[in-house]
Amino acid sequence: MELPIFYDEAELWNNTLLLYDSALREINTKLEILNNEFKLAHQYNPIEHITSRIKSSESIAKKIRHNNRELKVENIIKYVNDVAGIRIICSFTSDIYRIADLIAKQSDVKVLKVKDYIMCPKENGYSSYHMIVSVPIYLSNQVIDTKVEIQIRTIAMDFWASLEHKIYYKFEGNAPEHIRAELKECAEIVGYLDKKMLSLNEEIKNYSHCEVQ
């Protein structure tokens, strides 16, 4: 991201926040359009729901400190990829890849990084599809590419991630071994459930409306 020139760090930060907020709006609109188009063509929503957030200043500062960098706007823009974050919750795993592909194909979106924790879940069992993208934000006298972190997961993956997050914070990252083992087992059940639900959904597509009744 090229920096607009401001002499005051606070002014620069306010203008940077405006960029992140605008980038979230851009991606949200793109997703809404894709979802509506899909609904029209296939009579169902690939997206269950979307949440978005701007990272809190405390979390940004913590991340910058954790990386041993000076807390400057320039460093935040360069090193914190998730200042603007969007989470897309889908019903089926196939929808995740469909949405990811449709986002990546848009000519104004640049995909900077992809992490497929569905193909390769994390050691703790975490599963989700992550993209860091940038979108151009058109200001009055310049265009600034702005980064957004997109997390795409199924309802079941989201259910698991919420509980894992809660447990992680409760035990400050040191949950007892049996809890970690049970969480991992739950992650395997989530994977199994997602596969079962997808194949069931595929199967019912072959039935006509009256056959289902």
Amino acid at 64: I
Q: In the bound complex, what is the minimum distance in angstroms from residue 49's beta carbon to ligand GTP?
A: 17
Nearest to 84 by CA among 31, 4, 28: 28
Active-site option among 149, 164, 177, 182: 149
Of 98 and 115, nearer to ligand GTP (C-beta) is 115
Residue closer to ligand GTP by CB (options 110, 115) is 115
Closest listed residue to residue 81, CA positions, set 133, 21, 16, 26: 133
Is 177 a catalytic site residue? no
| Contact code string over 66-95 relative to Mg ion, x by CB under 5 A | ----------------x-------------
Which one of Mg ion, ligand GTP, none interacts with residue 13, CB within 5 to 8 A by kind?
none
Shortest approach of Mg ion to residue 66 CB, angstroms?
12
Shortest Å distance, C-beta 87 to Mg ion: 10
Residue 82 or residue 158: which is nearer to Mg ion going by CB? 82
Which entry of ligand GTP, Mg ion, none binds 130, CB below 5 to 8 A by partner kind?
Answer: ligand GTP
Instruction: Enumerate binding residues for ligand GTP (CB under 6 A).
Output: 82, 115, 122, 124, 126, 130, 151, 161, 164-165
DSSP-derived secondary structure for the chain: -PPP--SSHHHHHHHHHHHHHHHHHHHHHHHHHHHHHHHHHHSS-SEEEEEEEEPPHHHHHHHHHHTT----HHHHHHH-TTSEEEEEEESSHHHHHHHHHHHHHSTT-EEEEEEETTTS--TT----EEEEEEEEEE-SS-EEEEEEEEEEEEHHHHHHHHHHHHHHHHTTT---HHHHHHHHHHHHHHHHHHHHHHHHHHHHHTS-HHHH-
Q: Which residue is nearest to ligand GTP (CB)?
A: 126
Q: Is residue 164 a contact residue for Mg ion (CB under 5 A)?
A: no
Least Cβ distance, residue 133 to ligand GTP (angstroms) = 13
Give the catalytic positions in this structure: 149
Q: Which residues would be at the binding site for Mg ion (CB under 5 A)?
A: 82
